[in-house]
Structure 1
């Protein structure tokens, strides 16, 4: 619009004294610089990082955080015991929390932000789906702050955390890169294998199909026993959905209900909207081994063609042959 105005006014400017023409252009140059996308993203990133830091600080002093840690510690200890991991090392890690979100000025050239904060017990990884637009949404920002604290508490380097939401803006991708987590470039629809490594999946308030896809991608006793899932309560899903709907549309969720243990997150008024209906789930080997061979043999990929109110964004570019089972 500014360019069009300049074209219209050019004949009049040509007749004006040179000094006045130059003075008239300076404000436009400053305005153009102020609207530069990179400059705006840099400024907005600083604001968003400050807000994330404030959200982290609020979480740290809350009753919710201390209670949630007890719940996570209880589940994680049992999970790592079955994987023959050194539980004492995990307990030591859970007792020493220190996290400062990095400013860009704090990051050494060539280094990954947050990489030097932790050492990993049992090589835990983390995958986060569906966290939402944290730059503009307070609920999503609190969920991201919790994720960053969780990584530090479990001694998972940020470079071993993969994050994706199809709604991320370019600003949010820039912020996540600054924080040092890995932003996935493609919509996996939750179809990610643990690849034999203990993995925490952080999936708050996600669609049921996303959990169903994740279970399908890891449909074996060995793979599921490597997983911890923080997300919607599976007990709650069972109570809200009719049994026939659950079995038809989300068969892997329906089948795994007898093969998991679930601990509910604490509920406090301060974070009711952020962590409501949230539980941490793990899959004891003893329960999984009780499943019949027929249950494990049935591994048809979900298609959701007849599923109403599907609460995930599909990736239309990928076909069934693109997904690899463990």
Structure 2
């Protein structure tokens, strides 16, 4: 089920997406009855054959996307925000005594089939080139990835995870979770796995605006369950919304924000949130 929330900053609509619904670039097969929805499981692509011709076409598509993003005013604004004192100071706090953030990309979707996932991947690759605080190895996972896509990602220096972590990775070191337009339950899983300030403070999260989740009103039990930990985390979240200046990049990045976590005198992490 999807709940639509009016977006005050654009002409589009904002939706809470739950795992029962597919989205562009994220086609999923129905799970067998009784299979745990949130369980971490070893993963192999359903498409096991690496097709050199498809890979060559994918390379061409990605080169076009990279050039388009890199030369855009959207990317210029994106970089300016990351280099601003407000955001760069937050990144330094996440780094602590470390020099790099491990980048983990969940829910990238099919980079072969859709332009939006290619734009999202392009931003991640360009960030790695631009900032020395982005780790050398980008870890990537989406259950829709084909063997051809996985092979191409590895040629870019990425590592495709062999386990579906369901976004439940503990941030034992400074980590940048790159999750634009993921399903609400994945953000909730990430927060639950790190529900203590010494873990949350090691996270930089790029994904759906938490503020939008807080502003939405729903009486649907499934939506409430998927978003209540996100809303609870707002007490310790500093959010910086990105600007989507062009319609070309709206589908890939609308209502996306940077999120950082720290407690203060008037804001503490709730000790208990029922799941």
TM over 0.5: yes
In structure 2, C-alpha distance between the alignment counterparts of 1:274 and 1:250, rounded to whole Å:
21
TM-score (norm 2): 0.74
2:242 is aligned with 1:284: no
Aligned residue for 1:201, secondary structure, equals: strand
Change (3 A) 1:243 1:262: farther
Change (3 A) 1:82 1:144: closer
In structure 1, C-alpha distance between the alignment counterparts of 2:94 and 2:103, rounded to whole Å:
17
The answer to whether the 8 A contact 2:108-2:142 is kept is yes
More helix by share: 1
Q: How many residues align?
A: 223
TM-score (norm 1): 0.63
In structure 2, C-alpha distance between the alignment counterparts of 1:83 and 1:48, rounded to whole Å:
34
Q: 2:53 maps to which residue?
A: 43
In structure 2, C-alpha distance between the alignment counterparts of 1:232 and 1:209, rounded to whole Å:
12
In structure 2, C-alpha distance between the alignment counterparts of 1:54 and 1:235, rounded to whole Å:
33
Deviation at 1:213, TM superposition (A): 0.3
1:100-115 alignment to 2 at 5 Å?
A: none
The answer to whether the 8 A contact 1:194-1:223 is kept is yes
Q: 2:115 maps to which residue?
A: 138
2:198 is aligned with 1:187: no
Q: 2:188 maps to which residue?
A: 212
Q: 2:239 maps to which residue?
A: 262
Aligned residue for 1:256, secondary structure, equals: helix
Q: 1:274 maps to which residue?
A: 252
Q: 1:242 maps to which residue?
A: 218
Deviation at 1:76, TM superposition (A): 4.2
1:74-153 alignment to 2 at 5 Å?
A: 74=84, 76-83=87-94, 85=96, 122-153=99-130
Deviation at 1:299, TM superposition (A): 6.3
2:78 is aligned with 1:68: yes
Q: 1:52 maps to which residue?
A: 62
In structure 2, C-alpha distance between the alignment counterparts of 1:138 and 1:244, rounded to whole Å:
32
With a CA cutoff of 8 Å and minimum separation of 6, indicate the structure with the bigger relative contact order: 2
Change (3 A) 1:202 1:84: closer
Aligned residue for 2:163, secondary structure, equals: coil
Q: 1:94 maps to which residue?
A: none
Q: CA RMSD in A?
A: 2.3
CA distances 1:75-115 after superposition (whole Å, capped 9, x unpaired): 541224435758xxxxxxxxxxxxxxxxxxxxxxxxxxxxx
Q: 2:21 maps to which residue?
A: none
Computing the radius of gyration over CA atoms, which structure comes out larger, 1 or 2?
1
CA distances 1:148-189 after superposition (whole Å, capped 9, x unpaired): 112222323442x21100111111111111111110112111
